[in-house]
Amino acid sequence: MSQEPVKVAPSDKDDILICPFDEGHSILRSRMAVHLVRCAPNHHGSKKVNCPFNITHICTITEMKIHVNNCPNRSAFEEFVNPDRLTAPCMLPHEMKGEIKCSENWDDGPDDPTYNPSANCAGKYLICNPQGNPPAVRRQIRDMERLRFQRNNKF
């Protein structure tokens, strides 16, 4: 495998590009990106910059300021970053925001009274013995609950 760039005769039609780093490099357009990956490290001092729209467009900073306004890849890039300008109908995430439709409205529900745990327990045969009381108090509460149950003939 030779590392030398492939030389293609000019008669071999089509797109032969000159390497931006070395005029001696004639590169097929389709191979330019691959070539630049290998060639660029050899020309770190060249002060050349990549076009933001196409990595195979390389020129000096001064030239690039002009190039970016005329780059043939610019329109494709702008369509990519500004999808609003696309004419094709497609569902984009930013179009999905806004009001979320929901058939359920909790404000229209029945006017339930606020839940009261104490009242809820009082009417039922549940032992309510709040934790965190000293043992004597808990025993007292337990006795009261037993009395309440007996009053209701539950035992």
CB of 18 to Zn ion, least distance (A): 9
Torsion of CA 5, 55, 16, 42, to 10 degrees: -30
Q: What is the 3-state secondary structure (H, E, C) of 40-55?
A: HHHHHHHCEEECCCCC
**Is 58 one of the binding residues for Zn ion (CB under 5 A)?**
no
Nearer to Zn ion, 53 or 149 (CB): 53
Nearest distance from residue 9's CB to Zn ion, in Å? 18
Least separation in angstroms between CB 44 and Zn ion: 13
Tokens 């309510």 sit at which residue?
128
142 vs 138: CA distance, rounded Å:
6
**Token pair in block for residue 112:** 């339930």
CA 142 to chain centre: 57
The pattern of x and - marking residues 60 through 99 that bind Zn ion according to CB under 5 A reads: -----------x----------------------------
Q: Which residues bind Zn ion (CB under 5 A)?
A: 19, 21-22, 25, 39, 51, 53-54, 57, 71
